[in-house]
Structure 1
């Protein structure tokens, strides 16, 4: 059975038995021992506990601030004089980012319940011991994923591998090295048991190998790692890639809404349009866009573009990365906004199908610009983002008539055919793709000093995009970061990647407009996030804050 269908079933199941595994914060979890869930959980329905861990990942991957803001390719969606603590590293404090902490610890807590109940409370028949081991392996893999998300943001964190059955306030943080050791232990125990080809939505052996490759790669840069971690990461990435050739389908086919369950996707968070409260709730399509319905001819209820959420805005640097022959550009962004309804009161009696706004890749000359401004608004590459350019006398489309203050080519790759009038959609969120595995391999081989293998993996990704074989003849970490930026835009945790490679401070100073204008990044502080204030308060002093907060 497809996991999404199982999630729908389990939603009703948990309502009936009143088992609320989600918690608002880790240090104040519910005491589940008072609920006689043993009466409901047997070997026949135990898998529903595992599905509960998967469903909790939705909240983890809907949170965007600590993944995208304050990086080289994304900035805050506001005018240049505005301030954002997370994006600008300005007065960033322990009130920021609670969702990252609590959502990942929700995954940890649910995984611990699975492992404890599977190991200690469910009576398994000999015939079902394989199902027991498989359930535990899935829980450990997802717990490893959650702890990896946490260690990248906070450094060493609280490690809890037992089901919480009493209220505790004496939690202490483990070291970064201990946290990585726990992640690696979980994944290495899980991988031999995970299936090569599980039902859609479940973590596979190759997905866990991809994750473990990135864990080793990330640890290699830290004091907890060694140079051998680069070799281990490369070997694991090769195993995760297997014999799949990403050039067997185009980038456009990978992101075709009707082709979401394609072979390149190693692991995805599933959504749907069944009508259940949490089923159609993906906000991905809304994150990297402006308020399109502010334009005449774009109706909030019928627009194919969706409704903007809080989200982030691509930087001018991001748009500059696409070469003229890079097919990913047309899949990733909209360069034109098209009217979906008539609006006779608009600037020039707009009818459905008219172009409203155009964002040329290359600057238009004065004559062509004036001609196009008689038909629609045009924002030249140096006019993306903030405010409005000066009007050009004598043309129909005066910039001063546009009420949208942030104008930029919005994202296309996450367009959702089943979104509602708010920001809820049904497109799956891709967590791991084989193209990303190639880029992990390239980075790992580069770290290990094997430039030939690093080039091979980088060029495979590039060839799919441009049709040119062996386009890169030399390789640097910046080449890999640039390729990741366009191949995995809005998918990868960009902040964590820049931190890992030691490039965060350098690249935000060069490419993030708000940071360039008034950012206050301090590497002694901002390479770690602040532990949420309420966690510190609940711990009665046992939980230590990161330096500088």
Structure 2
């Protein structure tokens, strides 16, 4: 929803009804006929408006470029001489980021509609006042989530808390401090009414506590922060963790496709593959991979790896972070591509089960490399941005102008068992996990100079991965960032985390190959995203662009 769009009341309801679906029978919509603004909203079907807010989160969490590109652990999926505005900060302009802005404001607009209708239109019986309060609490929590997504990218925002019913072009941005205050207000008002164990797909009290912890943690680094923000963030993270022990299941089990509703997941955006509520628009399986189906024996429709879409490539630095005893490596990436079908007509007589491509963890010596190249393609750790091994015999690969010739170990953790030949899949997107809450706690305690507590939370995450207790004996912010990379790669907003901690410029210049080669990052401009140009054009001049754009 564009910020300045005029929305008639009946249109709001029709659009929200059409979008108010979720997956797997947890947040299902009803079908109504003869809908009017007078008869649609009753206490019996009011929850459909709330479901519409959840449904809009799919569009928010299908926007990935701004979260991953231009960071230390992800770079553009192209060869080193290629340019990317978002990744390289080269000619970044106000034409980028429209989806981030509009999709989050769509959530905000629908949340405002829920709050207004629940408070002012529906005739609630005394027995159903709890449903009213619960619906409002969910709407405020999701509105807070959307505003938090935006403030990290753009700074101070247009804060709109009323349902849009008339044309307005006089919106002005509030300060960053005012924006944080509104997010905190929404979440603090919502948390007491949210449920500890809601139906699957709805935001829980613990998920909102996790979110509020991250809000306070983020504000703590800014000029809007207060002296107690780190302590408040740590306390909220402790509440969100509760008594749950992440070490009770392995990292691989957390990402098992048949275990998507496991207890570590605090909040997830849902997708599905059957029924009226089905939605297979999740493209996450396609983001961190190359065109593996171009290899013989890998079938586009039957490969277990999915298909490659517009996305990002992990940096060599990311791969280097995995210790030999870190079980997350095998659960996170594929180091071998295996044929899923026979291809007897080719020169290699491929049989299903054959290794087609191998990405060694450590550089192979010339003898072992030659032996392996006789059987399958091999990409050494320093050759992921280069061309096919067939370009030149041996180990010196040439550049290629074909993006499909860029190869790297693809992600495994988001493998989807139900994807189509395009990029859409049905796996849920995990927004918050308890392991991530531990890392928020570690960062918050570190900021509050409570090193012992920071180490405790960092070591819990590390122990699950390596089996070694108390592996960290000291802790720095770089330790926390590295552990976040290993634990949450592709899940959390890496760009926002690096910005928050003041490490974005340093780490992209150390670890992002394209930025090192030709990056144009300027901290005076690029710590904020440009407000989309069409939003500026629709305003009457009251909406001000961020500096440098």
- When normalised by structure 1's length, the TM-score is 0.93
CA distance in 2 between counterparts of 1:340 and 1:398 reads 28
> 1:97-127 CA distances to partner (integer Å, 9 max, x unpaired)?
1000000000000000000000000000000
Return the offset for 1:433. 0.1
State whether residues 8 and 279 of structure 1, in contact with CA within 8 Å, keep that contact through their aligned partners in structure 2. no
> Residue 385 of structure 1 aligns to a residue in which SS?
coil
**CA spacing shift, 1:528–1:403, aligned 2, 3 Å:** closer
Given that residues 187 and 208 in structure 2 are in contact (C-alpha distance below 8 angstroms), is that contact kept between their aligned partners in structure 1?
yes
* Paired residues of 2:201 and 2:268 also in contact (CA < 8 A): yes
Alpha carbons 1:289, 1:313 under 8 Å: kept: yes
- Corresponding position: 1:10 with 2:53: no
What SS class does the counterpart of residue 243 from structure 2 fall into?
coil
Shift of residue 226 of structure 1?
1.8
Q: Which residue of 1 aligns with 2:424?
A: 424
Q: How does 1:112-127 map to 2 (within 5 A)?
A: 112-127=112-127
Q: Does the alignment pair 1:484 with 2:505?
A: no
Q: Aligned with 1:62: secondary structure?
A: coil
1 CA distance for matches of 2:469 and 2:92?
Answer: 45
The gaps in structure 2 that reach 5 residues or longer are 1-20
| Whole-angstrom distance in 2 between the partners of 1:389 and 1:234 | 50
Q: For residues 276 and 80 of structure 1, do their structure 2 counterparts lie closer, same or farther at Cα, with a shift above 3 Å needed? A: farther
Shift of 1:345: 3.9
Distance 1:394 1:321 in 2: 27
Is residue 220 from structure 1 mapped to residue 239 from structure 2 by the alignment?
no
**Equivalent residue number for residue 531 of structure 1:** 531
Matched, 1:378 2:378: yes
> Structure 2 CA distance, aligned partners of 1:175 and 1:6?
41
Q: Could you tell me how far apart the structure 1 residues matched to 2:240 and 2:34 are?
A: 39
Corresponding residue of 2:72: 72
Q: 1:194 to 1:138 in 2, by over 3 A?
A: same
Q: Distance in 2 between matches of 1:276 and 1:293?
A: 31
**Is residue 53–residue 110 contact of structure 1 (8 Å, CA) maintained in 2?**
yes
> 2:451 corresponds to which residue?
451
Shift in CA distance, 391/86, structure 1 to aligned 2, threshold 3 Å = closer
Contact 1:3 1:202 in 2 (8 A): no
Q: Deviations over 1:39-94 (max 9, x none)?
A: 11100010010000000000000101110000000001111111111000000000
**In 2: Cα distance, 1:515 partner to 1:128 partner:** 56
- 2:320 is equivalent to residue 320 of structure 1: yes
Residues 10-409 of structure 1: pairs in structure 2 closer than 5 A: 10=29, 12-13=31-32, 16=33, 36-274=36-274, 279-389=279-389, 393=393, 404-409=404-409
Give the distance between the partners of 1:238 and 1:171, measured in 2 at CA.
38
User: What whole-Å deviation, never above 9, does each CA across 1:301-337 have from its counterpart, x for those lacking one?
Assistant: 1111111110110000000000000000000000000
Please report how far the alpha carbon of residue 7 of structure 1 lies from its aligned counterpart in structure 2 after TM superposition: 7.2
**Contact in 2 for aligned 1:7/1:52 (Cα 8 Å):** no
Task: Judge conservation of contact 1:8–1:276 (CA < 8 Å) in 2.
Answer: no
Distance (whole Å) between structure 1 residues aligned to residue 44 and residue 25 of structure 2: 14
1:4 offset after TM fit, Å? 2.6
Per the TM alignment, residue 9 of structure 1 is displaced from its structure 2 partner at its CA by 3.9
Using the TM superposition, give the Cα deviation of residue 17 of structure 1 relative to its aligned residue in structure 2, in angstroms: 6.3
SS in structure 2 at match of 1:349: coil
The residue that corresponds to 2:18 in the other structure is none
Decide whether the 8 Å contact of 1:227 with 1:448 is kept in 2: no
Q: 1:404: Cα distance to partner?
A: 3.8
CA shift digits 1:450-500 (9 cap, x unpaired): 000000000000000000000000000000000000100100000000000
Contact kept? 2:88, 2:514, Cα under 8 Å = yes
TM-score by length of 2: 0.93
Contact 2:77 2:403 in 1 (8 A): no
Distance 1:346 1:534 in 2: 52
Distance change >3 Å, CA 184–CA 375, structure 1 → 2: same
Indicate the larger mover: 292-301 or 501-510. 292-301
CA distance in 2, matches of 1:115, 1:45: 15
Matched-pair contact (CA < 8 Å) for 1:389–1:399 = no
Q: CA 1:374 to 1:496, structure 2 compared with 1: closer, same or farther past 3 Å?
A: same
The Cα of 1:340 is off from its aligned counterpart by 1.0
Mapped contact 2:26–2:201 kept (Cα < 8 A):
no
Separation in 2, partners of 1:393, 1:73: 30
Return closer, same or farther for 1:378/1:5 CA change in 2, 3 Å cut-off: closer
- Deviation per CA, 1:414-455, whole angstroms, max 9, x where unpaired? 000011111110100000000000000000000000000000
| Counterpart position of 2:7 | none
Q: Which residue does the alignment assign to 2:413?
A: 413
Quick check: 437-446 or 74-83, which moved more?
74-83
Larger CA deviation: 385-394 vs 247-256:
385-394
Greater shift, 523-532 or 287-296, is seen at 287-296
| Matching residue of 1:503 | 503
Question: What's the CA shift string for 1:114-145, capped at 9, x where partnerless?
Answer: 00000000000000000000000000000000
CA-CA distance at 1:511 after TM superposition: 0.5
Do the aligned residues in 1 keep the contact of 2:22 with 2:277 (CA within 8 Å)?
no
Using the TM superposition, give the Cα deviation of residue 369 of structure 1 relative to its aligned residue in structure 2, in angstroms.
Answer: 0.8
Other-structure match for 2:8: none
1:12 Cα offset (Å): 4.4
TM superposition shift of 1:3: 5.8
Instruction: Please tell me whether the aligned partners of residues 441 and 457 of structure 1 are also in contact (alpha carbons under 8 angstroms).
Output: yes
